Amino acid sequence: MKNHVLRPIMVAIAAVALLLTARSIYVPDDFGVHGKNFTFGFYRESNVDEWKAMPAKYKGKQYCAECHDEQYDSITASKHKIIQCENCHGPALNHPDEPEALTIDRSRGLCLRCHADLPYPNTLRAELPGIDPVEHNAGSECSECHNPHKPSLEDM
């Protein structure tokens, strides 16, 4: 019998070899250092492209204007021109293909985001027209009286 003391070591080596084999099969080839160093740039490179390939859901005002020029013009003429269409109409996604129609958020809560009165000193919020949500026609939708595309009170 040769040296039996080495046997546990051989078992250990076998285990390591097994692990390394499994690793070479399982780990994608593009896994490695791609960034500035090992600390911050050790990753699977193709993941960057996977992130880039994600679809964008919000398409922006100009996308809406391509078809809905009337609505676009009306809001652009109002104080609400700074608001994106999709803030109230929801993300366009691939509209009109998918989804065919967008659901408009007409809830009070949506308007209150800016128009619930919070008169904080030295803030832009205090300068926005504000109402007390409890006092001001509680229970009714804002759009019953106010046209979001022509919000000023003179046009009411």
Partner 1 sequence: MTISRRNLLKKTLVGTAVAALPALPLGAIKFLSPAEAKAAVSESKTRYAFLVDTNKCVGCGFCVKACKKENDVPYDSPVTRTWVERYLITKDGKSHIDSPKGARDGFTSQLQENQHETVDPKEIDKAFFVPKLCNQCESPACVQVCPVGATYQTNDGVVLIDRTWCIGCGYCIMACPYGVRYFHPKYKVADKCTFCYHRLAKGLKTACVDACSFGARQVCDLKNPEDPATKIILTERVAVLKDEYGTKPHVFYLGLDRNVR
Partner 2 sequence: MNEQLITHGADWTIKHLFVYPNEFIYWGLTIVMYPYMTGLVAGAFVLSSLYHVFGQDDLKDLAKFALVFSLALLPVAMMPLMLHLQQPFRGIHVMFTPHFTSAIAAFGIVFSTYAMIVLSEIWFVYRKYFVEQVHALKDSDSRVLRMKRLVYVVLSLGAFDLSDEAIAKDKKAVTILAAIGIPVACFLHGYAGFIFGSVKANALWMSPLMPVIFIMSAIVSGIALCMLTYIIIMEWKKFSTTLARGRGDDSVKIIAGVELDVIKKATRYLIGFLIAAITLELLDLIFRGYTAMKSWDILREVMYKEDFFKIFILQYGFGNLLPFLMLMIPGAKIKRTAIALALILFGVFMMRWNVVIGGQAFSLSFAGFMDYDVPFIPHHLELYKEGILGALTVAATPFCLFYIINKFVPSLKRS
Map tokens 């078992």 to a residue.
11
Q: How far is CA 140 from the centre of its chain?
A: 30
Interface pick for partner 1 out of 37, 97, 98, 135 (rule CB under 8 A): 37
Q: Binding to partner 2 (CB under 8 A): which residues in 9-68? A: 9, 11-12, 15, 19, 22-23, 26-27, 31, 38-39, 42
Q: Choosing among partner 1, partner 2, none, which partner's interface includes residue 123 (Cβ < 5 to 8 Å by kind)? A: partner 1
- Cβ of residue 19: shortest distance to partner 2, in angstroms? 6
Contact map string, positions 42 to 81, toward partner 1, x by CB under 8 A? xxx--xx--xxxxxxxx-x---------------------
Interface pick for partner 1 out of 67, 77, 104, 118 (rule CB under 8 A): 118
Contact set with partner 1 (CB under 8 A) = 2-3, 5-6, 8-9, 12-13, 15-16, 19-20, 23-24, 31-44, 47-48, 51-58, 60, 82-84, 86-87, 90-91, 109, 112-114, 116, 118-125, 128, 133
